[in-house]
Structure 1
């Protein structure tokens, strides 16, 4: 099994070719982000991805925004899924990852949404993976397990940083629940959360080493489950981002760290971590 790192477009501002050039130079194997809706922009993105020999993971956001509009219907969420799939296919996406559903829904409503979204993905012959995310249907590990128990074919994009905030603790307290869903995890968002937030100021900082080690231990559980399933490639996206996630200084709002440097550090660290894990497990 090999590891592929993807550069997130979250927090990036600028021409798409610059994003591709940065990703290639920093050793990333692909880009993850929302595919554009306009055909001319899709063609340009495809040209850039081909030029820099990068893979693409399509991100789909349902319900109007990252925090969903409270009263969007299941059908409206599904329409967003279908549009996102169509746009991502124009870029030959490896798969799509979906921030979907709503935390206020009943579990029955969530299951209906996920089942229909999976059916849509099958129709378009592409894998869909659902992110564990605050404000969404998969906002706790326990709800996620119950949904997965009902829909065992469901694929997950694991972002534990959201669960750290919702549960107000690191997720190594919930290993049995996470082990139960580990084989469903298709993709990892490698952001490090802590007990009071979804993003540590810098994962290299010694005061947050406990949080980093906690996340890395669980990522190893995921890799082991993926290896057991026979997966040939595991993917991660270091996804430290802005929008209130990145810590800033009071009054000046100056960021305490550089996002691109953090994500590059995280990618390099996990490349080394995965190598050490693979050597230890005898899978190199």
Structure 2
């Protein structure tokens, strides 16, 4: 049992007007050389045909694969699952673009996607993500009750903004987040506050939010350890997006270095995993 830290290919983009992106091969090499365990492809940032051309990069670099899909229909998930198998993704993270208003109709869509995943024999996890079927914290909690087999990939930055959570986090919100963590089988790295989904990590005014997220990740890792066998690894995905996720100045330049921040997230997640392990050992000894 170990923590595997992945980087998102989308997060390696600069999207600087007038400047070409680094070659994708160079970005794969940089992620491998920095000690990440894998690279995630985001089908919200590129189409599936372009993504298929990247399959050889996983073989060449030895990076493990992970796929995030944005299916706009129930059946559109199926080809994404095929691509996921090609890159060795252990599951697919789904940001469902079928978004009914009623919880009963949402549950029907979730079950339909789960049925396709069962047919294709590849697990899926629904990311806690705005502008998707899991857009809202409250409706997602209702969905979890309605579909007990539904599993999540926790990107809690979306729900901090969605609910405009304030510091200190209330006991009710801590309880709601705890319910999300108990159903989450992977985790994603981004720090938010009530108004901004992706904060620069080295600004001192953001420390209270960093501490909040570190605590949530420790709690999530501890929950994961209780639920999974010793021969499985937990995946943590660093996903610091380019502009407009990244905050920019008057000249359109980002306020922070997202690559350095990704390495910092990797360091923090590893420390949280170790602390969760120590807490688990202490509880076992006490028992």
1:94 aligned counterpart, secondary structure: coil
How many angstroms does 1:208 deviate by? 0.7
What residue in structure 2 maps to residue 73 of structure 1? none
1:282 aligned counterpart, secondary structure: helix
Structure 1 residue ranges, 4+ long, deviating more than 6 angstroms after superposition? none
| Greater displacement, 148-157 / 226-235 | 226-235
| Greater displacement, 114-123 / 203-212 | 203-212
Contact kept in structure 2, 1:170 and 1:211, CA below 8 Å: no
Please state if 1:178 is matched with 2:177. yes
How many angstroms does 1:53 deviate by? 1.8
1:60 to 53, 69, 75: 69
What TM-score comes out, normalization by structure 2 length? Answer: 0.85
Q: Structure 2: state its 5+ residue gaps.
A: 14-20, 283-287
Please give the alpha-carbon distance, in whole angstroms, between the structure 2 residues aligned to 1:160 and 1:219.
10
1:20-45 superposed Cα distances (whole Å, 9 cap, x missing partner): 21111111000111366349x63x53
What residue in structure 2 maps to residue 160 of structure 1? 156
2:57 to 48, 62, 69: 48
How many angstroms does 1:101 deviate by? 3.6
Please state if 1:25 is matched with 2:36. no
How many angstroms does 1:170 deviate by? 5.0
2:128 to 116, 127, 132: 132
1:142-190 superposed Cα distances (whole Å, 9 cap, x missing partner): 2111101111111101111111111111594312122223332011111
| Greater displacement, 98-107 / 219-228 | 98-107
How many angstroms does 1:90 deviate by? 2.0
Q: Structure 1: state its 5+ residue gaps.
A: 64-76
Please give the alpha-carbon distance, in whole angstroms, between the structure 1 residues aligned to 2:193 and 2:29.
32
Please state if 1:188 is matched with 2:187. yes
Contact kept in structure 2, 1:102 and 1:135, CA below 8 Å: no
How many angstroms does 1:103 deviate by? 5.2
What TM-score comes out, normalization by structure 1 length? Answer: 0.86
What residue in structure 2 maps to residue 224 of structure 1? 222
RMSD: 2.1
1:209 to 200, 207, 210: 207
2:48 aligned counterpart, secondary structure: coil
1:189-221 superposed Cα distances (whole Å, 9 cap, x missing partner): 110110111111x22322111101111111122
What residue in structure 2 maps to residue 67 of structure 1? none
